[in-house]
C-alpha cells in the first residue's frame, strides 16, 4: 500500500509532513525546525531524489519500497550524542517487532540483520549561533528494496526479506515513532547506553577504522568507540566506518 497523508493521519499522533517525492526529508525537517516545529514533529518521504548519507554519500530511497523519515528532537545539549543511539535502538526494536532475527548494531548506528545493513541514520544538529535549536534524526530503512544488480547487493538487506512477511509502511512508521518516544524519554538513563552497548555487534573483534586497526574493546557514554591498537594504546574514535577484519569468537 502506498503512503499518504490520510493514512498517516490515522496512525500518527505526532505533527507530520508527508511528501510523495522530496529531495531530502532531513532538509525539510531542518527548515521546519528553524520555523519553530515542536519536538517530536516528523517529516516522511515516499521517495527521496537527493537523499543524503553519512560522509557526503548518496542515500537511495526509491518510491514505495523504503522509509525515509526525519524526526525533530530538542534534547538538552549534553545529550546530543545520544540521538544517534536512540535512532539505532528504535530501528533495532522495529526489526525485532516484525520478526527479524540476528539483528545487531554496527557502531555507531547502522542496524544490520544477518550482518547486512537494513538502515542508515543521519542525525544533524541545527544551531542558532551557539544555541542548539534541535536535532533532526534522519532514518532510512529498507523495507522491500530490490538490491539485485546493485553494488550493495551483498551488504544490504530489507525488513521484508529478513522477516519473510509483507509489511505495511504506515504501521512501521507508527511503531518506530512509539519506540523513538520511549527511548527519548529515557535519554539520560544508563539503560539507554547499556542496551545500545549490548546490541553492538563488533565489540571484542579486530576492527579497522580508516587507518586504525585494533581490538574494539568498548564504548564510552558519549558514544565513542575504544580501540586498543597494536601498540596496546587505547584510541578513542568518535566517527568512522568500522570493518570487522576477523572474528575472534568471543564477544
Kindly state the smallest distance separating residue 54's Cβ from ligand BTN, in Å. 4
Question: Is residue 59 within the footprint of ligand BTN (CB under 6 A)?
Answer: yes
- 40, 14 Cβ separation under 8 angstroms: yes
How far is 109 from 86, CA to CA, in rounded Å?
A: 9
- Taking CB atoms, the residue at the shortest distance from ligand BTN is 120
Identity of the residue, 60 or 184, whose beta carbon is nearer to ligand BTN in the bound complex: 60
- 117, 109 Cβ separation under 8 angstroms: no
Identity of the residue, 135 or 215, whose beta carbon is nearer to ligand BTN in the bound complex: 135
Q: Which of 75, 87, 108, 120 binds ligand BTN (CB under 6 A)?
A: 120
Identity of the residue, 68 or 167, whose beta carbon is nearer to ligand BTN in the bound complex: 68
Identity of the residue, 141 or 215, whose beta carbon is nearer to ligand BTN in the bound complex: 141
- x/- contact string, 17-56, with ligand BTN (CB under 6 A)? -------xxx---------------------x--xxxx--
Q: Which residue has the cell 549561533?
A: 129
Kindly state the smallest distance separating residue 96's Cβ from ligand BTN, in Å. 20
Residue 154's alpha-carbon distances to 145, 146, 148, 186, 205, in angstroms, are 13, 12, 9, 35, 21
- 208, 101 Cβ separation under 8 angstroms: no
Kindly state the smallest distance separating residue 237's Cβ from ligand BTN, in Å. 17
Q: Give 142-192 as a DSSP string.
A: ESS---TTSTTTTTB--HHHHHTS---HHHHHHHHHHHHHHHHHTTT-HHH
Strands 16-19 and 42-45: parallel
Kindly state the smallest distance separating residue 51's Cβ from ligand BTN, in Å. 4
Q: Which helix (H) or strand (E) holds 8?
A: helix 5-11
- x/- contact string, 130-149, with ligand BTN (CB under 6 A)? --------xxx---------
Query: Given the rule CB under 6 A, which residues bind ligand BTN?
Result: 24-26, 48, 51-54, 57, 59, 61, 68-70, 110, 120-122, 138-140
Amino acid at each position: 500500500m502506498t503512503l499518504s497523508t490520510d493514512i498517516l493521519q490515522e496512525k500518527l499522533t505526532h505533527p507530520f509532513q508527508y511528501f510523495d517525492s522530496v529531495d531530502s526529508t532531513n532538509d525539510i525537517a531542518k527548515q521546519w525546525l528553524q520555523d519553530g516545529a515542536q519536538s517530536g514533529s516528523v517529516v516522511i518521504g515516499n521517495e527521496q531524489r537527493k537523499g543524503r548519507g553519512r560522509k557526503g554519500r548518496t542515500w537511495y530511497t526509491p518510491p514505495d519500497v523504503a522509509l525515509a523519515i526525519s524526526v525533530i528532537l530538542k534534547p538538552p545539549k549534553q545529550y546530543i550524542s545520544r540521538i544517534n543511539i536512540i535512532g539505532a535502538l528504535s530501528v533495532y526494536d522495529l526489526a525485532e517487532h516484525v520478526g527479524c532475527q540476528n539483528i545487531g548494531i554496527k557502531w555507531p548506528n547502522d542496524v544490520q540483520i544477518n550482518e547486512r545493513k537494513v538502515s542508515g541514520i543521519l542525525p544533524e544538529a541545527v544551531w542558532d549561533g551557539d544555541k542548539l535549536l534541535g536535532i533532526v534524526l534522519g532514518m532510512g530503512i529498507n523495507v522491500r528494496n530490490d538490491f539485485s544488480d546493485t553494488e550493495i547487493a551483498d551488504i544490504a538487506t530489507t525488513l521484508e526479506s529478513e522477516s519473510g512477511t509483507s509489511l505495511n509502511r504506515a504501521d512501521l512508521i507508527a511503531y518506530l515513532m512509539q519506540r523513538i518516544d520511549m527511548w527519548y524519554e529515557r535519554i539520560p538513563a544508563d539503560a539507554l547506553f547499556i542496551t545500545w552497548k549490548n546490541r553492538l555487534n563488533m565489540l571484542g573483534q579486530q576492527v579497522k577504522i580508516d587507518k586504525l586497526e585494533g581490538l574494539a574493546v568498548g564504548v564510552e557514554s558519549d558514544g565513542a568507540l575504544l580501540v586498543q591498537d597494536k601498540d596496546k594504546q587505547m584510541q578513542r574514535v568518535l566517527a568512522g566506518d568500522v570493518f570487522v577484519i576477523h572474528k575472534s569468537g568471543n564477544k
